[in-house]
Chain A
């Protein structure tokens, strides 16, 4: 069984398995699943086994081992790794090998984790289906005709496929929680600033946050413990002590906790009945655990998606400027033939035209427009104002309740190709998740059952800033009372 980090740590401690054995099992599983699932963009068996061998040697020598010693961890391909390519699943960066590690990758290495490879994603983390990847689509292990969600589709699918116990995703508008929900695993977006963004290739800097994906809450807590904390190289990183996230999860007690049920938002068109039912059932579970459920509303809910789709593309249009073929990224080989623009501008134009996919171009266009002179007041500045109102809604809500409960996604995983040509439909996948990013609060996606066709359905808990412990406590209690997180896709069951 390779699906629990805690179990892997125990096996090694008890001498039942070595890190190399565990890593090779993971590598074999990846190799077997890759043709169907395609969760990875890069796996180097030798590098991974060498890292595992170092852990075994350290253990043999009686050295002090880090908290993730010998545990295989997959890393989303938007996080810089000095010894592996970092592509953002874009043609633009297909040959990019950063000379440095991201802050979270450094922490993984320091904790003696075995970084097993880089996972597939929507190009530059833009998308909700992992169909916008220059390395091909990732498929949902529960049903390979379905999308795994996005943009951390590979990060969620590699866990769901049983290849690694832990993976790191990034969440700008729901990119950890939505694929975790669709792949039936647990994913957490931490408070903005809780985890370093140094070495995370930026999509929308004020929204991006790195977070853990695993089957169960204790594993998520373990990985969060490793990656959270201050990094002086990221000015938005919070210089505060972090809680011990794993403590007390077994005995979590929800007595007296007030949980706000975001009922109104569930009653809109396009929200699948299975999602509504799962959320209401989850509310009953929490009630049975001693929590008080109150119905609550976040009044500016209707503005979440439009606000997000102004702010995120605006920042993206700026962050992606550096990929111009001169400094970074793919350079067009043929720049002749446009005398009017001159060789420099032609290099920029052709390189970007060839290097970026449609969705990335669409968002660069939207962002450039929203920031442009004469429109910035109408769109960008307006969006910033609404963002403050949205934050205000959260503050008000958290004055009344300890946690918010609601759906993660409007529907379970949809068929591949269904929404590729309808960006607006695709953007509505973020309906329930973007609020947490706009407000900077932490949120977790918890498996909450299967729909009639056997696809995972999930619920989301949101907490006030820095209250990751509260989310993990509630999540652990929920998972003690239910077995949704123990279901495995039949095709890849071990």
Chain B
């Protein structure tokens, strides 16, 4: 890219994504990981780091990490181990964090993402590693009380996080967003994480710098790490801001990566700016060493293969299949896949039963998803089963019920939790006999000579006014059939 009146510039972005694993208990103890509990109610001697307490590995976190690694094409080494990362921090009760240093559980993968600059193409983003670590607690600064108190909530201590580190392969904020979307989709699809950014179960740090081409020579600006962003929008805006800021700064100062080590910046969403957090202090010395309280873990090949076999269809393959099998557009397949396995299953059941994938996809995207959103429920709690929805749409496709009436039926089914059949009966919907309909149409034409005249004069749309009347006289009349009957009668006149 070339900035206005500037030199050709390449943006270089690497992302570090912390994904909170969806385990019932913490990484090294039996405490719950439920979000939002009262402060310090989900703690025990182990996660508080009480003197004498020892960590015990939660195997569920290992299993989810293996699945996550396989989902991003990582290799899972035959052995992984635990290291201590030492630093003093109020949120860190042991004075060290149990993490993984030189033998992470996942290594060397990649993520194929749609190329935002070219819809026909994809981009291959390398993944360096993914390692498992425990989360720290949370400090709450009580500024309001005017005493500057800080209270510490250690509920989050020991919650399992998988830190996924990409290669600096991303070239724009749009690519960063596409990468995050694809990553989030895979993690939620496989039940590895909720990826709720508001709850902190997905957190992003972005390493950003520019490669500026000056007279055929490449100059790199100092790397900036923007920490802890809590929305995709923030990531995009922060990167865009950094591109401008770093270019301007380079123009002003001429400082390159050789003049300045990495700095850490935060993101102020309101101001739309990054701000300096830590300036080129010596890089922290975490004094990593193997945690003597935890033994290394062997991950035999058959365990990895079993995990691989259990993954099932990943989102990319699933999209293509839905397009082909149900004849829906890529956009619609994408929307459905993004909703996760439960909704995909719902769609597949309903679509198969209805025999009309397109109609099913559109009903699910509009009627079903709107209801779910309004009622703040999951698809699992949706009152109309996939089978019943499929049955309703089958009837619509066969012309037994028109779309408008079908919506009434659907609303009735949601309200009273009954079958299609029962709802139709309750609403008094009957299929209208052809003869009955024909005599109704004849009556209408007799009563409306102007319409007949207009039609004869070439105004086909004139019949439209009669469809409404027919519907009024017999609510079960299918408008499409009424139109066809009227035209047939008119043409025979």
Pair B287/A372 contact, Cβ less than 8 Å: yes
Pair B293/A322 contact, Cβ less than 8 Å: no
Give the CA-CA distance A321 to B54 in the complex, in Å. Answer: 15
Q: Which residues from A are CB-within-8-Å of B54? A: 197-198, 233-235
Pair B292/A198 contact, Cβ less than 8 Å: no
CB proximity to A under 8 Å, residues B254-301: 285, 287-289, 292-295
Interface of B is mostly: loop
Asked whether A315 is an interface residue with its Cβ less than 8 Å from the other chain, the reply is yes
Asked whether A294 is an interface residue with its Cβ less than 8 Å from the other chain, the reply is no
Pair B287/A235 contact, Cβ less than 8 Å: no
Give the CA-CA distance A315 to B48 in the complex, in Å. Answer: 19
CB proximity to B under 8 Å, residues A304-333: 314-315, 317-318, 320-322, 324, 326-328
Measured between C-beta atoms, what is the minimum distance from B51 to chain A in Å? Answer: 4
Asked whether B88 is an interface residue with its Cβ less than 8 Å from the other chain, the reply is yes
Q: Which residues from B are CB-within-8-Å of A371? A: 86, 287-289
B49, closest chain A residue (CB): A322
If the complex has contacts A80-B51, A80-B52, A235-B57, are A322 and B93 also in contact, measured as CB distance less than 8 A? yes
Asked whether B22 is an interface residue with its Cβ less than 8 Å from the other chain, the reply is no
Pair B52/A201 contact, Cβ less than 8 Å: yes
A93, A318, A345: most-surrounded residue (chain B CB, <10 A): A318
B51, B56, B289, B293: most-surrounded residue (chain A CB, <10 A): B51
Q: Which residues from B are CB-within-8-Å of A324? A: 88, 95
Pair B90/A344 contact, Cβ less than 8 Å: yes
Give the CA-CA distance A184 to B82 in the complex, in Å. Answer: 41
Of A7-15, A24-32, A94-102, A280-288, the one touching chain B = A94-102
Q: Which residues from A are CB-within-8-Å of B55? A: 235
Q: Which residues from B are CB-within-8-Å of A96? A: 51
- B20-60: CB near A (< 8 Å → 1, else 0) gives 00000000000000000000000001001111111111000
Please pick, from A80, A320, A326, A368, the residue contacting B287 in the complex, using a CB distance under 8 A: A368
A347, closest chain B residue (CB): B90
Pair B295/A235 contact, Cβ less than 8 Å: yes
Give the CA-CA distance A197 to B84 in the complex, in Å. Answer: 19
If the complex has contacts A318-B95, A344-B90, are A205 and B292 also in contact, measured as CB distance less than 8 A? yes
Give the CA-CA distance A344 to B53 in the complex, in Å. Answer: 25
- A70-94: CB near B (< 8 Å → 1, else 0) gives 0000000001100000101000010
Q: Give the bracket for the number of chain A residues in contact with chain B.
A: 35 or more
Pair B95/A98 contact, Cβ less than 8 Å: no
Asked whether A296 is an interface residue with its Cβ less than 8 Å from the other chain, the reply is no
Pair B293/A326 contact, Cβ less than 8 Å: no
Measured between C-beta atoms, what is the minimum distance from A359 to chain B in Å? Answer: 18
Asked whether A373 is an interface residue with its Cβ less than 8 Å from the other chain, the reply is yes
Give the CA-CA distance A143 to B107 in the complex, in Å. Answer: 62
B295, closest chain A residue (CB): A235
Pair B289/A380 contact, Cβ less than 8 Å: yes
Asked whether B171 is an interface residue with its Cβ less than 8 Å from the other chain, the reply is no
Measured between C-beta atoms, what is the minimum distance from A391 to chain B in Å? Answer: 15
Asked whether B250 is an interface residue with its Cβ less than 8 Å from the other chain, the reply is no
Asked whether B455 is an interface residue with its Cβ less than 8 Å from the other chain, the reply is no
Measured between C-beta atoms, what is the minimum distance from B52 to chain A in Å? Answer: 4
B29, closest chain A residue (CB): A233
Asked whether B382 is an interface residue with its Cβ less than 8 Å from the other chain, the reply is no
Measured between C-beta atoms, what is the minimum distance from B139 to chain A in Å? Answer: 10
If the complex has contacts A235-B56, A321-B86, A322-B93, are A376 and B292 also in contact, measured as CB distance less than 8 A? no
Asked whether A174 is an interface residue with its Cβ less than 8 Å from the other chain, the reply is no
A205, closest chain B residue (CB): B292
A234, closest chain B residue (CB): B54
Please pick, from B45, B84, B88, B96, the residue contacting A100 in the complex, using a CB distance under 8 A: B45
Q: Which residues from B are CB-within-8-Å of A234? A: 54, 56, 293
Please pick, from A88, A327, A345, the residue contacting B49 in the complex, using a CB distance under 8 A: A327
Measured CB to CB, the residues of B under 8 A from A are: 45, 48-57, 84, 86, 88, 90, 93-96, 285, 287-289, 292-295
Instruction: Supply 24 A–B pairs (Cβ within 8 Å), ascending by A.
Output: A79-B52, A80-B51, A96-B51, A98-B45, A99-B45, A200-B52, A201-B52, A205-B293, A233-B54, A234-B56, A235-B54, A314-B289, A315-B292, A318-B96, A320-B95, A322-B49, A322-B95, A327-B93, A328-B93, A344-B90, A368-B287, A371-B289, A373-B287, A376-B287
13 more CB-based (< 8 A) A-B contacts, given A80-B51, A236-B293, A328-B51: A80-B52, A86-B51, A98-B50, A197-B54, A198-B52, A200-B52, A315-B289, A315-B292, A321-B88, A327-B93, A371-B86, A371-B288, A376-B287
